[in-house]
Amino acid sequence: MEQKTPFKELTFSQKIQYIWDYYKIPIFLVIIGIIAVTAFIHDRLAQKNTILSVLCVNAENSTTEDSCADIFNDFLTDNGYDLSKDEIALNQNVCVDVDQSGLDYQNMAVLTAYFASNEYDICFMDDKTFDYYAKNVCFEDISKYLDKAVLEKYKDKLTYVTIDGKEYPCGIRLSADDNEFVKASGLYSSCTVGVCCDSSHDAMVKKLCGYILQ
């Protein structure tokens, strides 16, 4: 009967082979664990601080999310933010058809949930969809976020809603022909912008509104 050589008497390469033969499964599990922990730490470190969240509904020319988010870079740097750490989150992947609300139930439910959860600060929509959701109390009085000069500039493009007998301006009609931000974004030829109800970033929302409407 062949007698096994004691471990301490094995050569270095033999010891490596011995360990691999008997412990490869635990070694695999440890490696997988290290990779998982490393990936988690990397994701946490790479995660940016969200300054504001912007929603674009029914964007006409939806490109990649990251490239469109770049349209806020000048705004962020002008306000002292670090682009490697801070961002304005942009969701341009929501499409709904209010003319077929019964058939488009799932998408409309998602959009309604976004508004109910106060997840977004500013919203762009095509005019018809904006008017539909404005009647459902989804937008603030936008005049609270605009300087007098901006209000005067866009006074003929304000859109109003009446809630509980009170009429107030809830959005501004924009087009790529007369607004540089809309033109630069490439997302719409025309749209309406509004401030979502219960935004918790009033000061930054006011600044971004000024930037969009300059």
| CA separation, residue 148 to residues 39, 141, 142, 153, 213 (Å) | 49, 14, 12, 9, 12
pLDDT: which is higher, 116 or 169: 169
Arithmetic mean of pLDDT over the chain: 83
Instruction: Give which of 146, 179, 185, 204 is closest to 60, Cα–Cα.
Output: 185
Lowest mean pLDDT among 5-14, 44-53, 114-123: 5-14
pLDDT: which is higher, 3 or 125: 125
**pLDDT tens digits along 178-202:** 999 999 989 999 999 999 998 888 8
Per the document, the length of the chain is 214
pLDDT: which is higher, 107 or 167: 167
Local confidence band at 62 (pLDDT 50, 70, 90 cut-offs) = low
**pLDDT tens digits along 39-57:** 555 455 457 899 999 999 9
**pLDDT tens digits along 93-114:** 888 888 875 556 778 888 888 8
Query: Does 24 score more than 80 pLDDT?
Result: no
Instruction: Give which of 200, 188, 163 is closest to 59, Cα–Cα.
Output: 188
Query: Does 1 score more than 50 pLDDT?
Result: no
> CB under 8 Å to 196, separation ≥6 — which residues?
55, 115, 118, 120, 121, 122, 123, 138, 139, 140
Residue spans of alpha helices (H) in the chain: 12-46, 65-69, 73-78, 105-116, 127-134, 148-153, 180-185, 202-212
Local confidence band at 64 (pLDDT 50, 70, 90 cut-offs) = very low
Local confidence band at 23 (pLDDT 50, 70, 90 cut-offs) = low
pLDDT for residue 65: 47
